Chain A
Amino acid sequence: MAWEHREPEKLERRIRIERDGTVTALSGKIDFGQGIRTAFAQLVADELDVPIERVNVVLGDTAQVPFDFGTFGSHSVAQETPLLRKAAAFARRQLIERAGKRLGVSPDRLDTAEGTVTDGTRRVGYAELLDGTPLTGTVPDDVPLMPNARRHYSGKPMPRLEARDIVTGRATYVADVRLPGMLRGAIVRPPQRGAKVRSLDDSRVRDMPGVKVVRSGDVVGVVAEREEHARAAAGSVLVEWDAVPVEGPSTDVVMRDDTGVEAKLRQAAKTVDRTYVLPAIANAPIGPSAAVADVRADGATVYVGTHRPFGVREQIAKAIGIDERKVRVIPQITSGTYGRNTHGDAAIEAAILSKAAGRPVLLQWTREEEFVWSPSRPEAVLEVTAGLGANGRIAAWRYDEHTNVHAAAGLDPQVLGGTSGRNAIPPYAGFPAKVTLHIEQTRLRTANFRSLAAAENVFAIESFMDELAVVKKQDPLAFRLAHVDDPRLRNVIERVAERSGWGTPLGERRGRGLACTIYHGTYVGQVAEVALDASGRVSLRGFWCVVDPGETLNPDGVRNQIEGGIQQSASWTLLEELRHKDGRVMTTSWDQYPIATFRDAPRSLEVLVEGDASKEPTGVGEPGAVPVAAAIANAVYAACGARIRELPITAERIRKATS
């Protein structure tokens, strides 16, 4: 289905009233811990006027839900809110009309309350109004919505619906699915990605009881009754491989090309140019990839973690050679993967193993497989040049982003700028700019990763704004505000400065750094406060964030997402680098890839959600992560005068810069 095409919304694909009076809401989006299940339940409960306990949200089951494009770009709440609201409101209207006929009363004299239609004295439950005829029809675009005053749940903090199952250990993650007769799988990995099987010798595993070796093209694996048997067997299958170089095409995308940039750069009173560098980093979910596949002669059912249930369905169907419509993909609650799961690797492999074994198969990747065989965020080099006018303002801007593709969509020209070039265009006004994205293929397999290229671009742009302020001997806050004409951006910057005590003195080797962004319509202002010890090691003393995501359904859910983005991005900034060589990732375990721990969490973390309620809700899963690296780098500069332009910001880099 094309990106721009959307079929008319059918009520029966969104909302179902069940015979027991519960409501099922359907969405093709997936919850990885962003809390969208809870947000959707809140708005459906409000629009249909039912207690939230009676709302079940089904996400991503391809046998039940609409396509909905998949889950990325922090779009879910923004895209789905109007669709679910209108469908629920339409359902409520139909229920009122049916009740009118039943009670012999004009529908305009009826109202709803707690899952019933009432005329003030009599009440009819929604389930009674079904009479074996489900609610159907095309959802009108102009169906009237519930007035805000009558919404009980939206806009109020609310614990996640899955929370109880999570804290009791009962939540069923992908690897917790148990099917009768289920086997365990393991894959025999080649030395490099893309290698082809030259020869296969399974003589050492032929006598292992219950072990079967599977080969499908260049996928080689084993199945066995127990996980440890499968692992041992996989290690005993001898495969010779032929390496095949994996290289893709390179391309340039001009994202913005205002007239006069080169001339203004030549005429400027002063020009400043800088280069910023980011290493590859790993999505590194705590739970490695897993999938359960049950492939039978008449169809397949696959339990997965995925952002794109319909995309994975297509991949599975192709891999095992059956009709796509005979594959049912059922997403389970899953470890957060922050975009990695746009690739359905484990699901495809499990399906291949299950088809060959004739039984259900659980495939659990190891930690090493997760690091080495997963796609990751590619490295980036950002070159930026600005001309400064005599008035102290930016006169012209040239920006060149060099990176690999950042999205599963690959080189798709329709989306390249918006994904791999995300946020390369600065949010500032008053000068012409030329912005070019240079896609330069590396041999690293690349993934979508929380905020895609925005993290690298905003690191460069917001570090550079600080450097320009220093050159012009201006306060970084004032220098930014002089280039802001968007009132919502101005507001988050001013508010976060105020909250963080911007401008007040700090002790020796302490400093504050400011950074901001507009990410898919969400406005974020951040201030980091760091302290450096004698070795140059950075610790986060405080972190402040003001976010404006428009209308806010679940303020504490928003806060949790923004906090998580900040914490994860602080880890990228200070600690993370994925090593790879000749197309193979060299990092295999957590001790080689340290991430932030409890000891590294900021001493204080304040997130203020100040959404402009008159604006449509925008995403919050990613934007919190976006300005963090620059806020920290700017704070390090303020603390010790070391300008770190290459991540991660290690003690060694700081010592080198200050010596």
Chain B
Amino acid sequence: MKQTLTVNGERHEVDVAPSASLLSVLRDDLGLTGTRYGCGRGQCGACFVIAGGRVVASCLLTVDQAARQEITTVEGLANGAELSPLQRAFVEEDAMQCGYCTSGMLISATALLASDPAPDEDTIRDALAANLCRCGVYARVIRAVAKAARH
């Protein structure tokens, strides 16, 4: 069954069941593998995307729910070769280790700065609380988000 999706400003047609998860369509049909599988239950944040302006777990969203909204994935954050201020701050602060959770964190932080350009530390912690990191880079991510906000 044909589904139309708008991802990172581009329209795509995919032929999958309406119940397929947005995550599987991004990764397997559109080749956007930057959005990662972590738990399939919306409990870890690795698959976060921005849909209709809100942060959602793409593993829980069906493709037909997603079809009505503008989707932004990690691949849509940079402007061509130019990194977004958040991406730059993550690189500069070395706010990653294995990097598996980084895409989801950048999505949460991008949505945060869009609604609150100058968040305090507690606001940053709350906005990212649904993004799990096992390597333990929380302190650096908080610093990177605060730094990007200052720009």
Contact = CB atoms under 8 A, between A and B. Distances in A.
Interface in B83-97: 83, 87, 90-92, 94, 96-97
A168 B132 contact: no
A564 B96 CA distance: 10
Contacts of B32: 169
A226 B135 contact: no
Given A169-B32, A336-B98, A286 B132 contact: yes
A416 interface: no
Given A159-B92, A561-B97, A601-B139, 11 more contacts: A159-B91, A168-B87, A226-B16, A286-B132, A286-B133, A287-B46, A556-B94, A563-B136, A568-B134, A571-B136, A590-B44
B91 A164 contact: yes
B28 A171 contact: no
Given A336-B135, A563-B137, A605-B139, A159 B94 contact: yes
25 contacts: A35-B97, A159-B92, A159-B94, A167-B87, A169-B34, A169-B35, A169-B73, A169-B74, A178-B33, A284-B134, A286-B44, A286-B101, A286-B132, A287-B37, A333-B99, A364-B37, A557-B94, A563-B139, A564-B137, A590-B43, A590-B44, A591-B43, A598-B125, A598-B131, A598-B141
Interface in B120-147: 124-126, 128-142
B31 A178 contact: yes
Nearest to A283: B134
Contacts of B18: none
B91 A228 contact: no
B67 to A, nearest CB: 17
Nearest to A601: B138
A284 B83 CA distance: 31
A162 B99 contact: yes
Interface of B: 16-17, 20-21, 24, 27-28, 31-41, 43-44, 46, 73-75, 77-78, 83, 87, 90-92, 94, 96-103, 106, 124-126, 128-142
A566 interface: yes
A275 interface: no
Interface centre among A170, A338, A600, A601 (most CB of B within 10 A): A601
A567 interface: yes
Nearest to A557: B94
A187 B97 CA distance: 30
Contact of A167 (B16, B38, B106, B139): B106
A164 B92 CA distance: 10
Interface centre among B46, B98, B131 (most CB of A within 10 A): B98
A558 B124 CA distance: 25
A597 B129 contact: yes
A32 interface: yes
Contact of A176 (B21, B33, B131): B33
A602 B17 CA distance: 45
Nearest to A365: B37
B136 A168 contact: no
B1 to A, nearest CB: 14
Given A167-B83, A168-B78, A601-B125, A287 B100 contact: yes
Interface string A548-576: 00000000110011011111100100000
Interface in A576-609: 589-591, 595-602, 605
A598 B38 CA distance: 17
Given A169-B35, A169-B103, A288-B37, A597 B132 contact: yes
B137 A168 contact: no
A287 B133 CA distance: 10
B102 A166 contact: yes
Interface string A137-174: 00000000000000000000001101110111111110
A599 B46 contact: no
A518 to B, nearest CB: 22
Interface centre among B21, B41, B131 (most CB of A within 10 A): B41
B135 A33 contact: yes
A376 to B, nearest CB: 14
B10 to A, nearest CB: 15
A411 B24 CA distance: 42
Interface centre among A34, A170, A286 (most CB of B within 10 A): A286
A136 interface: no
A164 B83 contact: yes
Given A168-B78, A286-B100, A173 B36 contact: yes
A338 B87 CA distance: 26
B121 to A, nearest CB: 9
A495 interface: no
Contacts of A286: 38, 44, 46, 98, 100-101, 132-134
A426 interface: no
A334 B129 contact: no
Contacts of B74: 167-169
Contacts of A564: 97, 135-137
A333 B102 CA distance: 13
A163 B41 contact: no
B38 A287 contact: yes
Contacts of A563: 136-137, 139-140
Interchain residue pairs A-B with the least CB separation, the first 8: A169-B34, A567-B136, A33-B97, A33-B98, A166-B99, A564-B136, A336-B98, A169-B74
B43 A560 contact: no
Contact of A595 (B134, B139, B142): B134
Contacts of B44: 286, 367, 590
